[in-house]
Amino acid sequence: MHFQEILFKKRDRQELTSEEIRFFVDQYTKGDIPDYQVSALLMAIYLNGLTIDETVRLTDAMLHSGIVVDLANVEGIKVDKHSTGGVGDKTSLIIAPICAALGVPVPMISGRGLGHTGGTLDKLESIPGFNVKLSLERYRQQVKELNCCLIGQTKEIAPADKKMYALRDVTCTVENKSLISASIMSKKLAEGIDALVLDVKTGSGAFMKSQQQAEELARLMISIGRKMGKEVTALITDMNQPLGSYVGNSLEVIESVNLLKGSSLPEQYDLLELSVLLASHMVVLGGKSEDLESAGQQVQKVIDDGSAFEKLKKIVEKQGGDPSSLDDYSKLPTATEKYQVKAARKGFVAKLDALLVGKSAVFLGAGRLVLDSKLDPGVGIVIRKKVGDEVNRGDLMMEVYYNKQDQLKKALPYLNEALVLSENPVSPLTLVKNTFD
């Protein structure tokens, strides 16, 4: 079998067999197929698509390109959550310690930023000393001991996905339902879970721009999960504006910690609502509650009594991080300069385009422009007004934290375009659009 034959077939919109997909995945994982050829195949898949059967075959091949973790020694139903990516989406940092504090084991293997979207690992690594590169043995032990571990892919976990994930980011082949599904589900199924909650984003800042596309992606991932014997619930949520009010790696850690301390701001209402809802679904799937209402009460309790925040501090300490930085934010990376964006006139916020805000954050240094880009963990944007808010001329709309003037110069046009005011009142955006289980 030759890779060019596979490339010819997908270029010409033909269906790939299980053997062809496994050959491609195995050979690429071993390094026997170069990146430039795989880039061509990814683009062919992006343009021509994969059938449902091809998607399941690709997921299975990527899953078995490494080992599937056995967490049989961990008591309870193991539940994870995955978001399809967005701007300001830091819910993993919030809900993982909440669920762990409630006795639901959360074995979470996360990824880095893709395109304009932030990555959980990048946020975690802005905490001084935090180590996301634990061995699988330490991963298993920590899940057993603390009910939670937050790591990146090891060389044993879906190594094919790890290579393709980075390549997709820099070849403009991210926004494809089959590639997204195979990437997410191969990692999640490999980490040893019993159940999964999916947060499928839709809107300008999401990979799925329309609700219909998001629902198709949700159904595809649910189908894959169930074929593998897992319980899967999916929420379709809005990503037309950033989630919460902080965008940027250390800034998002601060926002997450503030929420766990019970001190969220009015403009962070959507982050609090979604975090509580996602955690509640995980608690139900984890067998700790029979319904969402009682689960929500349990979630709120561990926020109010501080046990969720204490769990996060224990996780940080166990993974080599400095837990005191979660109380003393001066120990986190901080940008040296600040620029204020103010309202040019009176009106109502009609639009705060998440995609444009995300792109501006990338130009500031919070995301990657090329494969080996070095992130600046201290830069980012703080949003002071959200869609539907009334503003007066001169009101503070956004604060931009930056270190280099040339990066600010590149970022500002995107921010200015992202913000649109209306003379007439505007309704707030609907956060949760649909649920599938």
Q: Are 334 and 128 in contact (CB under 8 A)?
A: no
pLDDT at 251: 97
The b-or-e profile of 127-158 (16+ CB within 10 A means b, else e) is bbebbbebebeebbbbbeebbbbbbbbbeebb
What is d(CA 349, CA 245) in angstroms, rounded to the nearest whole number? 14
Spell out the CATH class of 79-156+172-180+187-329. alpha beta
- The residue annotated as part of the active site, out of 60, 80, 122, 161, is 161
161 annotated active-site: yes
82 annotated active-site: yes
pLDDT at 371: 60
pLDDT at 234: 98
Tokens 């709120």: give the residue. 300
Choices 3.40.50.150, 3.40.50.2300, 3.30.365.10, 3.90.1170.30: CATH for 333-422: 3.90.1170.30
- The residue annotated as part of the active site, out of 81, 187, 359, 386, is 187
User: Where, residue-wise, is CATH 3.40.1030.10 in the chain?
Assistant: 79-156+172-180+187-329
CATH number of 3-49: 1.20.970.10
User: Where, residue-wise, is CATH 1.20.970.10 in the chain?
Assistant: 3-49
Q: Please, what sign has the CA dihedral across residues 386, 296, 256, 137? A: negative
What is d(CA 333, CA 362) in angstroms, rounded to the nearest whole number? 17
- The residue annotated as part of the active site, out of 81, 168, 313, 384, is 168
187 annotated active-site: yes
Along the 437 residues of the chain, how does pLDDT read in single tens digits? 899 999 999 999 999 999 999 999 999 999 999 999 999 999 999 999 999 899 999 999 999 999 999 999 999 999 999 998 899 999 999 999 999 999 999 999 888 876 677 789 999 999 999 999 999 999 999 999 999 999 988 888 899 998 998 899 789 998 889 998 999 899 899 988 999 999 999 999 998 899 999 999 999 999 999 888 899 999 999 999 999 999 999 999 999 999 999 988 888 899 999 999 999 999 999 999 999 999 999 999 999 999 999 999 999 999 999 999 999 999 999 999 999 999 999 999 999 999 999 999 999 999 877 666 789 999 999 999 999 999 999 999 999 999 999 999 999 999 999 999 999 999 999 999 999 98
Burial (CB count <10 Å: 0-12, 13-18, 19+), residue 110: buried
In terms of Cα–Cα distance, which of 412, 393, 377, 408 is closest to 125? Answer: 377
User: Where, residue-wise, is CATH 3.90.1170.30 in the chain?
Assistant: 333-422
- The residue annotated as part of the active site, out of 110, 178, 183, 250, is 183
What is d(CA 397, CA 172) in angstroms, rounded to the nearest whole number? 31
35 annotated active-site: no
pLDDT at 437: 84
CA-based end-to-end distance of the chain:
40
- The residue annotated as part of the active site, out of 22, 57, 82, 163, is 82
64 annotated active-site: no
CA atoms within 13 A on the CB side of 381: 37
pTM assigned to the model: 0.90
Ramachandran region of residue 341, left (φ > 0), alpha (ψ -120 to 50) or beta? beta
